[in-house]
Structure 1
């Protein structure tokens, strides 16, 4: 049996993963809501390989390692920080030569790497919000599961999630959860 390749992304109603200049303020209320945070924690605990684009890797590496020992951080954030430090991290980049975070490695060929991960042993291999990586996996037909949190905000511009043509695919709705902020979390499985 092959490993599942999953992706998690938060989007605005009009399909943006970030607002202008990388603004993420529109998703904070939902991301911090107890129901959303608990659902995300349940998902990532089954992940033993995190796949990141360079931008997300650098952003996460600049923030999360310090949270594990921060007494001001809540326990859920400290647990995520410890998990993130320990999990295997695959960083997809054309410009980085090395990744200095614990258990991190840089790869150039996303498709070959994901095929290798799928054929290997372990839990879920997951993309954490890296739009370019998710798009590339959709284009290569290498994504098995997609977790989309749709936040009730219209941004008008920013980083679009689906930008350009992709091959046709069909997905089945596995689960849906409504968050009291008005957001909807959909878990889709590739047919």
Structure 2
């Protein structure tokens, strides 16, 4: 059964990027022992990638000429007009995320749907009850401000901790089940 998963890194104070989308604070940990292995393990279960327009623009700007998901269908929720990288399976959509839930599940072909972000888009999935798991890696850095991890309108129901692990003696990955997530 496919799950909608938010796999993300966050600063200790709950931000996924600075206000100007800088990820330098995060990228300094790329070579930390266990980071690459955890990502590969997660990606082995992913069948479809979903992101917002700002995340898509960041990827195009910071990974020019290299699409990071060449073998996966990718859905971009945006109000702007974009073109897809050559050879990429990219679908641009606009509208309520709930309208696309089944399409995303179908696109994942029995595997999971990775909600890459940003946090505003994932909050829309949470409101639509299309968020099953949050897998957040807490990075030992405080940013003070920036793009929130999950900017919801109010308190959520308590999440159920499924697992935790230390990565490279520096970061902690926490895997939560979201109560009342999608019923499939």
Moved more, 137-146 or 24-33: 24-33
Runs of 4+ aligned residues of structure 1 deviating over 6 Å after TM superposition are none
1:183 and 1:44 mapped to 2: Cα distance?
19
Q: Once the two structures are superposed, what CA deviation does each residue of 1:117-173 show, in whole Å capped at 9, x if it has no partner?
A: 336742111112422211111122210111101111111111122335146333211
Change (3 A) 1:179 1:136: same
SS, match of residue 164 in structure 2: strand
Write the distance in 1 (CA, Å) between the matches of 2:8 and 2:20: 18
Structure 2, unaligned runs of 5 or more = 180-184
TM-score normalized by the length of structure 2? 0.83
Deviation of 1:30 (Å)? 2.6
- Counterpart of 1:93 in structure 2 is 78
TM-aligned CA distance change 1:147 to 1:90, over 3 Å: same
The equivalent residue for 1:153 is: 141
Over the residues paired in the alignment, what is the CA RMSD in angstroms? 2.2
Matches within 5 A, 1:1-191: 2-64=1-63, 66-67=65-66, 81=68, 84-96=69-81, 98-101=82-85, 102-109=88-95, 110-118=97-105, 121-166=109-154, 168-191=156-179
